[in-house]
Structure formats: structure tokens, C-alpha cells
Amino acid sequence: MGVALSCLKGEIAMFRLRNLLGILLLSLASVMVCAQEQGVPPVPCPQGTDPDVVCTEKGEEELALQPKFAIAADGQDASSPITHLTGRAPYFIIYDETGKLLEVAVNIYLQQEFGMGPQAAAMLGEKKVTVLIGGMAGPKMKKVLDANGIRFVYRKGIVQQVVDELRQ
């Protein structure tokens, strides 16, 4: 009976510990949401850090979750058509969530015989793109996009049409 009683006490202690941790996590989450709702700005990081990183109040670096949209294009400007084959796009025009132009990235992998789509996807992952918009994409490219957390959206048309949608 003594062994059963000690096991029961251990289970009760574990149950209380789990509940306490759950309450602590919920409290922490509500404080974070409250700070966001009140518009508490993130602490700027010291010079020389990655612009996609913000610092917490304790000075710890944290990845900023700012969406970046890359559009596979045949040209370098918004009047360009969206490329039919995404991996063979000469350019990837990168915008933020408001439709502000951030960068025009040249697809340096176009001259390769094979593997240009996956390598272009890896390049977009390095640029912290979150959504890629383009024509068709092969399974190898989609696999690399998924591995980098990049969502693929199939579209036809002109780059400016997508930018106008971002601005709405």
C-alpha cells in the first residue's frame, strides 16, 4: 500500500506541475497579445544585424514575421508578364505586404541544364520570401519551397495586377 500511495502522490505532483506550466504559458501568451494590441514597438537591434531580425526587450534577436511576396516575371518592372514556368523566370520581383517594391532579384540559375527551379527556390528562401507567385512550378521546386516555408500561388497575368491586390 505504501508503494501505491507514493505513486499516487507522484502522479498528483506531475498533474499539478502540468497545470501550473499550462497556466504560465497562457499568461505569457496573453501578455504578448496585450503588448501587440497596445502597439508596443519592438526594440531596435544594434547596427549591423539582419534587417529581418528584431530584438526583444531583453536584447535577444528574434525573426521578424514580415511577409515578402516574390513574383516570377519576364521583366524587371511591374508591367512585365508573370512567367509561365516559374523556375525559368529571368527575374523575381519582391514586394512587402503593402505592395512596396523591395528588390528585383535576377535568376542566376537560368543557364543551367537542370535544377534551376530548386536552386531559385533556395535563393528565395535565403531572401526570406514567404510567398512565391508564378506560373507552373515543378515538383522539385515545390519541395524546396515547402522546405523553406514558402507558399506557392499559381497565377497568370501581369505583375501589376498582383501588386494592386496586395495594396487592397
- Read off the pLDDT band of 129 (50, 70, 90): very high
Which position has the grid cell 495594396? 167
Tell me the longest C-alpha to C-alpha distance in the chain. Answer: 81
Helix, strand or coil, per DSSP, at residue 5: helix
Q: Is 106 found in the same domain as 144? A: yes
Which of 63, 97, 113 is at the close of a domain? 63
Residue 93 near residue 70, CB atoms below 8 Å: yes
Between CA 23 and CA 108 the distance in angstroms is 51
Domain that holds residue 162: 68-167
110 and 34 in a common domain? no
Q: How many CA atoms lie within 13 A of 86 on its CB side?
A: 27
Q: Are both 53 and 95 inside the same structural domain?
A: no
With b for 16 or more beta-carbon neighbours within 10 A and e for fewer, the 65-82 pattern comes to eeebbbbbbeeeebebeb
Shared domain for 30 and 82, answered yes or no, is no
Q: Which of 154, 153, 161, 150 is nearest to 121 (CA)?
A: 150
Query: Which are the contacts of 147, defined by CB distance < 8 A and separation ≥ 6?
Result: 125
Sign of CA dihedral 86, 129, 100, 161: positive
Count: domains in the chain = 2
Residues 125 and 85 in one domain: yes
pLDDT digit string, tens, across residues 3-38: 554 554 555 555 454 554 445 444 444 444 444 555
DSSP single-letter state for residue 75:
S
Give the span between the Cα atoms of 109 and 120, in whole angstroms. Answer: 7
- Give residue-wise pLDDT tens across range 37-63: 555 555 555 555 555 554 555 454 445
Same domain flag for 79 and 158: yes
CATH number at residue 120: 3.30.420.130
Q: What is the pLDDT of residues 67-114, one digit of tens each?
A: 899 999 999 999 999 999 999 999 999 999 888 999 999 999 999 888
Do 79 and 157 have their domain in common?
yes
